[in-house]
Amino acid sequence: MSLPKLHVVVLMGGWSNEREVSLMSGEGVARALESRGHRVTRLDMDRDVALRLTEAKPDVVFNALHGSPGEDGTVQGMLDLMGLPYTHSGLATSVIAIDKELTKQALVPHGIPMPGGRIVETEELFERDPLPRPYVLKPVNEGSSVGVAIVTDDGNYGNPISREAKGPWNDFGRLLAEPFIRGRELTTAVLADKALMVTELRPKSGFYDFDAKYTDGMTEHVCPAEIPEDVAEACKEFALRAHRLLGCRGTSRSDFRWDDARGVEGLFLLEVNTQPGMTPLSLVPEQARHMGLDYADLVEAIVADALADAGSGEGRP
């Protein structure tokens, strides 16, 4: 789809834990669009966002928000009511994909392997372990590995976990507990209903947490991943199926954990990101570049998808 010159509002910032990442994503997107001759209005989201969008009168909104309320269906519902075309997934898809438990309910029955586990009330953790150690605790509705803790026998959280220990239990009343899967971090992007490739993420220390994702030099990206072909194909197949089953639009990124001692049977999808980062360290732009699509091409492709979806008359999931 060849793009005419457009007025694009790049919606970024907001007040989630991922605000700074969103600002970096949004600024990169804005500069790319300007380099292609589009008129860009940068909008750091606040409580007056609907009024400011009405005043701006854009042709399309590039949603560069991460976390709530920009990625959980709230902003999507507002934009639907306003009749404004916007990038990435729609309301229902966003509500499901931001919630790790709802994502499992949507994907596991269709044969996509995901870790087991259960939702726990934080108070339970101070009495007993919800799963055998080692296990992972994470917020149900956060991205970018915000608030993830790996609880081991030899860790410093205590046994049972101490109220005084620093962890996600300090900030969230409910958490998702999952078995810890040993092995390697893999990720696959989907763009325009096509799985791109597989990247392996090798943190220099610890695991692939928020700091490892967004601090230059803390994680090595091996792209394409040096893994067996059947595992790479499985990653791409599961990522594309998840994208379709959830009803994702534009681009998404599926994150995996792979126990390399078990072959394909050791591959588990952890989550699907409906608004993956667009920062200089982000994975979707990196994979697109390896596929011959530069950053500005990628941004325009996402915008084109939003306009095509808005003009299809099919509505958004």
271 given a catalytic annotation: yes
Burial classification of residue 92, based on how many CB atoms lie within 10 Å of its CB (0-12 exposed, 13-18 middle, 19 or more buried)? middle
Same domain? 102 vs 140: no
Give ∠ CA 153-167-277 in degrees, rounded to 5.
Answer: 115
- Please report, for the domain that includes residue 241, its CATH number: 3.30.470.20
Look up 277 and say whether it is catalytic.
yes
Whether residue 80 lies inside any domain: the answer is yes
Q: Read off the pLDDT of residues 261-289 as tens digits, 9 standing for 90 and up.
A: 999 999 999 999 999 999 978 999 999 99
Same domain, 197 and 291: yes
Give yes or no: residues 108 and 122 share one domain. no
Q: Are residues 103 and 226 in the same domain?
A: yes
The yes-or-no answer on residue 144 being catalytic is: yes
- Same domain (yes/no): 171, 218: no
Q: Which of 22, 25, 144, 282 is catalytic?
A: 144
The pairs formed by 56-59 with CB atoms below 8 angstroms and a separation of 24 or more are: 56/7, 56/9, 57/7, 58/6, 58/7, 58/8, 58/9, 58/84, 59/6, 59/7, 59/8, 59/85, 59/307
Q: Are residues 127 and 251 in the same domain?
A: no
Q: Among this protein's residues, is 254 annotated catalytic?
A: no
- Note whether residue 302 is domain-resident: no
| Active-site residue, selected from the candidate residues 72, 142, 185, 271 | 271
Q: What angle do CA 237, 107, 131 make, to 5 degrees?
A: 115
Count CB-CB contacts under 10 A for residue 109. Answer: 9
**Looking at the structure, do residues 203 and 268 belong to the same domain, yes or no?**
yes
Determine, yes or no, domain membership for 312: no
- Residue 216 confidence (pLDDT): 54
109 shares its domain with 199: yes
CATH number for position 15: 3.40.50.20
Per residue in 174-226, pLDDT (tens digit) is: 999 999 999 999 999 999 899 999 999 998 765 544 444 444 567 899 999 99
Same-domain check for residues 105 and 237: yes
Is 18 an annotated catalytic residue? Answer: yes
225 inside domain: yes
The verdict on 37 and 175 lying in the same domain is no
Q: Is 48 a catalytic residue?
A: no
Does residue 314 sit within a domain? no
* Residue 107 sits in the same domain as residue 255: yes
List the domain range (segments joined by +) for residue 58.
7-88
Q: Supply the pLDDT for residue 146.
A: 64
Active site residue 294: no
- Cα separation, 243 vs 247, in Å, equals 6
Residue 150, SS3 per DSSP: strand
pLDDT digits (tens, 9 = 90+) for 28-70: 999 999 999 999 999 999 999 999 999 999 999 999 999 899 9
* pLDDT category of residue 227 using cuts at 50, 70 and 90: very high
Number of domains in the chain: 3
Q: Per residue in 88-141, pLDDT tens?
A: 999 999 999 999 999 999 999 999 999 999 999 999 999 999 999 999 999 988
Same domain as 49, residue 104: no
Respond yes or no: is residue 295 known to be catalytic.
no
